[in-house]
Structure 1
């Protein structure tokens, strides 16, 4: 009878395979990061996790651990290019009796390695640099940074005390000892400043002013900007004194939003049937989910969220509600298209339609055509060039 190889031997082989896949896909480009991925044992950072079930119906996650699926399958999944969920709704999982989980929102995870290494490559680090990571999570990306730069050059901040504890244990067991802090990542780390690089592994609605103050001139901020409806995308900013500017990437990696900037539980007030003013809509609700147009809708309505439901037994209407200003939109189908009813301090659908029309006028470009400028007084996303069409980020 053949024995299964021991965990370390099998994991080393799987890491080599992962390196080859990431190289082939163009994610791993430098020998230093290749060495880090080949060395850091991801299985130490995700000893147990949840994966999404492919069963129809309500989204359900299934537990994965060596004792549940077997050592070989667990390791295969760990070293696959997938994101694995490690926490839901900010609550620790009871691994003494793991069960499938439904009707829950992931709140911590181990991000897929291809995105992790792509961001680390884009961070453009070199020996001697001081790096601040926002969002320690499981600690896997922190370990990669430590392997590349050394423990003393890496500081990582995690907002969840229990998540931070697990990351610290995994890092220590793997031989890495960075500076680990528990707190609000928006505050950065004044004691360890100045930093040459800042990388955030959670999404933010804007760029915290502390980040600008704690990076050296010429320093790099690499983070995902996102709203309450969707991710805007990965942006790389170069700091110049009290301001920073840069461009979005072509693709749209999506991270969980920072807990301190999560949307309020209440969507806002649902309008009555006679509230607001009506007109024929130029665009229907598909712009809220379409490629490119949804990016514009998020910029135009940064405090809004949407949902659809039948109204008074009639056809399904789409509601766009702004919980900050109590502005609202109701989109209802008609024989000839869509009717919009809107009210409140902001004419939300006017703003969305204007943004989408501008995007179409410029040729419906990808996110790579957009940039961001950040200063103490203003933060804005712009199209094409800083003095082109622009939309403020929420304060």
Structure 2
């Protein structure tokens, strides 16, 4: 495979001509980090793709600015058989290079600074960082021992020898670092404490917050607070996990939401929306009512959205195309009403207060957001 020309084209696509990340992207043979991956087939199921057996497709996938799913549920693509059709959520991927570069930029890296890549995955960010900073300054951490081992071996074959660590970052992060850049989404609260503790005073954190698309950056002060802002940029990363897979979804509540008449029935004000892909709405929903899980179905012109919460609340909104939806809700929280209040604010003010908000993360992991008269806390 003539990967050098493809890597150069990718670097031209995802960086600027004067970017310090141009050369690292052009130098890294990304295909070697992702020999196998999962992709959706025609029926929407996960199907294995094997790079060496289809070199042209391998090159096209590896040097496109796209993410490649490398693990679904507990099944690694490296261990899968061609007939396997894994179910569940993706649990690891090779993040698309453009987003990797953006996160590295948010990290404000420089010569001689130590970096923790939190969320090794396939090793792409680690490879770019090693190429620019030198591998002695780079540590890569993941909860999955296989991912750490496989990425370490593939990076070594490229000539990179970063420190590789297997650890649950919500419980313990060994070492201390000038910069921590996360390609997993961190949940505010106790699980954030180990990451904050591993950041040196004067160091910088760049991460997203779980169930949001918010990129939070900040500098650590001597009192332990990380102070910064929500960047005017967005990203979607898988949340951290502590075990082999994510906890089960709220399947029983989703079943209720699909099949049950709600305690409260009404006509909604706004059309049905796929909340998961309306990133700013989804982010504000998590900030306002943390823990909500979302679902969406469409068939022809019929669209249905679901919201469920661990406290037993659920909501279903159904409509044809952009007609006002019929809304069913039950439980202590009226979840669709919460979403509609957010949409009211968006329509009335033209924007939500998230992007550009001030951030202060205290050592207990609580994330305080504020902008003008608006303020809230996550993870208390």
For Structure 1 versus Structure 2, the TM-score category normalised by the shorter chain is 0.7 to 0.9
Which residue matches 1:158?
Answer: 142
Query: Does the aligned pair in 2 maintain the 1:267–1:321 contact within 8 Å?
Result: no
SS in 2 for 1:249: strand
Q: Identify which of 47, 65, 71 aligns with 1:87.
A: 71
Query: In the alignment, which residue of structure 2 is the partner of 1:30?
Result: 19
Equivalent residue in structure 1 for 2:31, among 27, 36, 43: 43
Contact 1:243-1:376 within 8 A present in 2 as well:
yes
Alignment of 1:318-337 (within 5 A): 318-323=305-310, 325-331=311-317, 337=324
How far residue 137 of structure 1 moved from its aligned partner, in angstroms, is 1.1
Partner of 1:243: 225
Counting matched residue pairs gives 366
Structure 1 match to 2:333: 346
Does the CA-based 8 Å contact 1:135-1:200 persist in structure 2?
Answer: yes
Question: Contact conserved, 2:370 with 2:376, CA < 8 A, in 1?
Answer: no
| Structure 1: gaps (5+ residues) | 1-6
Aligned pair partner of 1:259 in 237, 241, 244: 241
Alpha-carbon shift at residue 223 of structure 1 (Å): 1.0
Match of 2:293 among 299, 302, 305: 305
Secondary structure at 1:144's aligned position in 2? helix
Q: 1:392 aligns with which of 365, 377, 380?
A: 377
1:167-178, aligned counterparts within 5 Å? Answer: 167-178=151-162
Q: For residues 355 and 377 of structure 1, do their structure 2 counterparts lie closer, same or farther at Cα, with a shift above 3 Å needed?
A: farther
Q: Please state how far the C-alpha of 1:180 moved relative to its aligned partner.
A: 0.8
Q: CA deviation at 1:136?
A: 0.9
Q: Deviations for 1:150-176, whole angstroms, at most 9, x for unmatched residues?
A: 222111111111111111111111111
SS in 2 for 1:286: coil
In the alignment, the residues of structure 1 paired with residue 80 and residue 363 of structure 2 have an alpha-carbon distance, to the nearest angstrom, of: 49
SS in 2 for 1:164: helix
Correspondence for 1:197: 179
Q: Give the C-alpha shift of residue 141 in structure 1.
A: 1.4
The structure that has the greater radius of gyration is 1
Matches within 5 A, 1:1-395: 7=1, 10-23=2-15, 26=16, 29-31=18-20, 33-53=21-41, 55=42, 57-67=43-53, 69-70=54-55, 72-93=56-77, 97-99=81-83, 101=85, 103-190=87-174, 192-193=175-176, 195-206=177-188, 208-227=192-211, 231-240=212-221, 241-260=223-242, 262=246, 264-269=248-253, 270=256, 276-278=263-265, 281-283=268-270, 285-286=272-273, 288=275, 290=278, 292-307=280-295, 318-323=305-310, 325-331=311-317, 337-338=324-325, 340-365=327-352, 368-376=355-363, 379-380=366-367, 382=369, 384-385=371-372, 388-394=373-379
For 2:45 and 2:376, the matched residues in 1 are separated by 34
Confirm or deny: 8 A CA contact 1:292 1:366 kept in the other structure.
no
Alpha-carbon distance, 1:235 to partner: 1.9
TM-score w.r.t. the length of structure 1 is 0.80
For normalisation by structure 2, the TM-score amounts to: 0.82
What 5-or-longer segments of structure 2 have no aligned partner? none
Q: Taking structure 1 as reference, are residues 188 and 46 closer, same or farther at Cα in structure 2, changes over 3 Å only?
A: same
SS in 2 for 1:163: helix
Whole-Å separation in 1 of the counterparts to 2:335 and 2:289: 6
Residue range with higher mean Cα deviation, 243-252 or 340-349: 340-349
C-alpha contact (below 8 Å) 2:47/2:82 kept by paired residues: no
Supply the distance in 2 between the matched residues of 1:124 and 1:263 (Cα, whole angstroms): 34
Residue 355 of structure 2: SS of its match in structure 1? helix
- Which moves more between the two structures, 234-243 or 92-101? 92-101
What secondary structure, in the 3-state scheme, does the structure 2 residue paired with 1:236 have?
strand
Task: Quote the Cα distance in structure 1 between the aligned partners of 2:369 and 2:219.
Answer: 16
Distance 1:204 1:102, change over 3 A: same
Deviations for 1:248-269, whole angstroms, at most 9, x for unmatched residues? Answer: 3334321122223945333454
SS of equivalent residue, structure 1 residue 292: helix
Report the alpha carbon displacement of residue 332 of structure 1 after superposing the two structures with TM: 5.9
1: distance between equivalents of 2:121 and 2:80? Answer: 22
